[in-house]
């Protein structure tokens, strides 16, 4: 009974963490090859090793190459790149603190 209660609490905590990370998410996805850290106000709030929603209010720190797929644009950031992305309607702002980000623009008018 006690282990069931602990398991339930752990599942609830994991769900709440997912909600807080995805709270400012765009339609985009982060796809790391190794690991990505999300940083807010100088503190790491998450370490991701698999695909996850993009948090527009966080600095994305790539440990290895990572890809960010957004509506109409794919970004590929190199190892040790620190950047943030914010999509507002048809516009996108990309802030690169350090490193290199390549991009591919796709035509979404036919979709």
pLDDT digits 0-9 by tens, 21-48: 444 455 799 999 999 999 999 999 999 9
What's the rounded Cα separation, in Å, for the pair 75 and 68? 5
Can you give the pLDDT at residue 79?
97
Can you give the pLDDT at residue 109?
62
What's the rounded Cα separation, in Å, for the pair 58 and 84? 6
The residues, any chain, with a CB within 8 Å of residue 82's CB and separated by 6 or more, are 39, 59, 60, 61, 62, 96, 97, 98, 99
Can you give the pLDDT at residue 7?
41
Can you give the pLDDT at residue 26?
56
Q: Where are the domains of the chain?
A: 25-105
Can you give the pLDDT at residue 107?
75
Query: Which residues of the chain have a pLDDT value below 70?
Result: 1-26, 108-111
Can you give the pLDDT at residue 72?
85
Q: Which of 69, 85, 84, 79 is nearest to 99 (CA)?
A: 79
Q: What HEC string does the chain produce? A: CHHHHHHHHHHHHHHHHHHHHHCCEEEEEEEECCEEEEEECCEEEEEECCCEEEECCCEEEEECCEEEEECCEEEEECCCCEEEEEEECCEEEEEEEECCEEEEECCCCCC
Can you give the pLDDT at residue 10?
40
């Amino acid at each position: 009974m006690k282990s069931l209660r602990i398991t339930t609490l752990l599942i609830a905590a994991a769900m709440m963490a997912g909600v807080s990370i995805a709270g400012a998410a765009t339609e985009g996805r982060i796809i790391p090859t190794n690991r990505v850290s999300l940083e807010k106000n100088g503190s790491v709030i998450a370490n991701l090793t698999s695909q996850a929603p993009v948090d527009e209010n966080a600095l994305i720190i790539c440990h290895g190459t990572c890809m960010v797929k957004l509506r109409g644009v794919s970004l590929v950031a190199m190892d040790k790149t620190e950047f943030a992305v914010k999509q507002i309607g048809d516009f996108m702002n990309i802030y690169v603190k350090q490193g290199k980000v390549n991009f591919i623009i796709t035509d979404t008018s036919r979709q």
